[in-house]
């Protein structure tokens, strides 16, 4: 008697749409659960080498919380002039929350996904909005209450 490991085929994958409200939720805990949904780990057909995840719409990204002193001490680094010395740019959490609050959630989720082509493909299914309005009403997203 042999046991076979199931491997999902592209035609078997059915993607759902989920709506996540991150108002007054802790950033890291929310990001890890969103990353799990984007990977497809909540499905029985999960296959590590394939993108079996669902679409996620995040609203109220401007109202996400962080714990401790991260609001004043957390720094975001970027290199806009890649390959050139002295091109490092540093932004604090508070400034990034004022200017581009959706980037905070995007960065947190991106860094919890694989760093390869599969991870980049998973990131295309994530949409983040600073306010409560979103243009994806036609997809009829299911409201998802994360356990945080």
The CB-side HSE value for 121 (13 A sphere, CA atoms) comes to: 10
Number of domains, the chain = 1
Please state, in angstroms and rounded to a whole number, the distance separating the CA atoms of residues 49 and 136. Answer: 28
Q: Is residue 71 part of a domain?
A: no
Q: How much is the pTM?
A: 0.93
- What's the confidence (pLDDT) of residue 84? 80
* Domain at 28, CATH number: 3.90.1180.10
Q: Is residue 76 part of a domain?
A: no
The residue range of the domain holding 56 is: 16-65+101-138
Q: Is residue 51 part of a domain?
A: yes
Q: Is residue 132 part of a domain?
A: yes
Q: 34 is written with which tokens?
A: 């969103």
Q: What is the mean pLDDT of each run of 10 residues along the chain (148 residues)?
A: 86 96 97 97 94 97 96 92 84 96 97 97 98 97 90
Q: Is residue 86 part of a domain?
A: no
């Amino acid at each position: 008697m042999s046991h076979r490991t199931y491997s999902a085929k592209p035609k078997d994958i059915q993607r759902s749409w989920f709506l996540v409200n991150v108002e007054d939720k802790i950033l890291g805990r929310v990001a890890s659960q969103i990353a799990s949904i984007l990977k497809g780990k909540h499905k029985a057909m999960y296959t590590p080498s394939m993108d079996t995840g669902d679409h996620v719409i995040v609203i109220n990204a401007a109202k996400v919380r962080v714990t401790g002193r991260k609001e004043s001490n957390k720094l975001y680094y970027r290199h806009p002039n890649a390959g050139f010395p002295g091109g490092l740019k540093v932004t604090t959490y508070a400034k990034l929350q004022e200017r581009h609050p959706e980037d905070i959630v995007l960065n947190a989720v991106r860094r919890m996904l694989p760093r390869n082509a599969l991870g980049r493909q998973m990131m295309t299914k994530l949409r983040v909005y600073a306010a409560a309005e979103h243009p994806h009403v036609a997809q009829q997203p299911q409201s998802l209450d994360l356990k945080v």
